[in-house]
Chain A
Amino acid sequence: MQFEPVVLFFLLGVFAGLVRSDLKIPGSIYDALSIFLLLAIGLQGGVKLAEFPLSELILPSLAILFVGSLIPLVCFPVLRYLGRMTRADSASISAHYGSVSVVTFSVGVALLAQEDIDFEGFMIVFLVLLEMPALVIGVMLARYGAGTVRWGKLFQEVFFGKSILLLAGGLVIGFVAGPEGIKPLDILFFDLFKGILALFLLEMGLVAASRITGLRDYGLFLTSFAIITPLLSAVVGTILGWALGLSVGGTMLLATLYASASYIAAPAAMRIAVPQANPALSIGASLGITFPFNIFVGIPIYFWMSQFIHSLGA
């Protein structure tokens, strides 16, 4: 199985957190790292996007968005009735799992780069698109009995929050500049990508450590949910990617997108729109369980699944 060494930095962060080391990445550095990652991923996609005719993107985009929107709709009844969780918690967790994780995606991209496998640049477009619908669906699922929803604030958070803004902005800049125009920025945004990702994962490990220690409180149901959901979503993503004619790399990234759960955009949006939901449950599951599961076990499995389904077709 393929293994991307950069994830070891996450383990180092978790270890530092568990032994209560004084290691702390200052908030402003964390902010800078996340700005870099979002821009780099956006630019990378934009440059590759320039190679594709955009009109061919519409149909796959609709299919990928439609299937992606089904994830929270399937998660909700499972959490609500099988897991006997409150409506607000079920809706909030569904939104987390329907939305996507940029860092999980980045680890997938890093693994593909290590294996020297190319992927379609428009995958980044889906990364941007898939972040939004689940959050809106989550709020709609929760809103019964929840009182008024601050839709304005929510939409502002979702559409103009820094993650979408920087991803989409990088995408446009990369697209406009093209491979030649972006050359002077290569050293910063492409060559340093893995190093910055490593630092970011170190910080994520520190944060995840505080969630992992609370793991016992989440119960067996939520723990199983946080592992089974990404696997099933990835199977759906693999089949859809293959059916849409994506390459091995693209199929693997689509599986990774469906499998990933948000822990930055979704918590902020849900805290505002669904305040009754307990953030410890949703962030604990997505960051404490699903994220480490995906980067250590999931992504190598999704890579294998993608290779497998393409070998069947050949």
Chain B
Amino acid sequence: MARTPSTGNAHLGASSQSAAPSRHRSSARVIHDLMPYLAILPTLVTFLVLLGYPVALLFATSLQKFGIYELINHVTTWIGLQNYYEVLFQSPQGLPDFATVLFRTVAFMLVNVVLTIVGGTLIALLLERLNKWVRLILTSSMVLAWAMPAVTGAVLFQWLFDSKLGVVNWAISSLGIFGNYLNHDWFTTGFTTFGIVTLLIVWQAIPFIAFSLYAGILSIPKELPEAARVDGASEGQIFRHITLPALGPLLMMLVFLSVIWDFKVFTQVYAMAQGGPDEQTITLSVYSYIVGISEGKFGYAAAASVVMLLLLLIVLVPYIRRMIKSLEGL
């Protein structure tokens, strides 16, 4: 994080140097050279100042004993890496240790990303083939799911899966195929609780992925698949050899975004079960919330999120580089 801005600046500096020898040229030329930097300037300011300053404060507080007392009374107490030590090695307070939480978070993230991307791709392909009315119905339904506030979504899913009054248990039992599910409790094991959280997340995340990919599919010139079809290619071949390569960079980006979102996801997981049953659904973000924010240990919470951020960076930077390369190739 600390490195990126400086390299960005270095490049900016280099560019103004390269503009220097061209002083004899017309000023229009200089303006032309500067144009891209002027265009990205507002974004640079946003990221380096508006976002950069709070992120720097996050680092700073992660090195402090910083709680409600320190915040209200404007006290600063530096304690070095103690918060980091506690996050990594002293998993406090009867909570699962850091490695467990991390493993769980990564597994949960992978399941969600795979389901979201596969589901989103299938829906996008489906959208292309539907007739006008069914497509409007499906897109409107997806917008509804997407637009629902996360907290409302969590409450609603708790309700749908309620052991006594839930419509899901009633429906399963009425079908009669799987036996009697009346009074079945979905929230007694971490596995089924995660299952319902996953369903909620996928339900809300697929619309965005599907819309993006659908827009991507629409931008593929129609002539290509049609020509392939005339040549006798199967739908599977068309997908593999035309659609997929054309969507490649977009898919890479969507995977990247989904990884970040599902790794950090908090509201749905916490609102559904508050980490229960038996702390089995405590993911990294829930962990930093429970230990940090709800106890007012902001410094500790900051350290936990810095660790989370660093892990994301370590894992994703190679991926980002490859993604940028594939974007450049376009």
Partners in one complex: no
Residues of A within 8 A of B (CB): none
Interface on B for A, CB 8 Å cutoff?
none
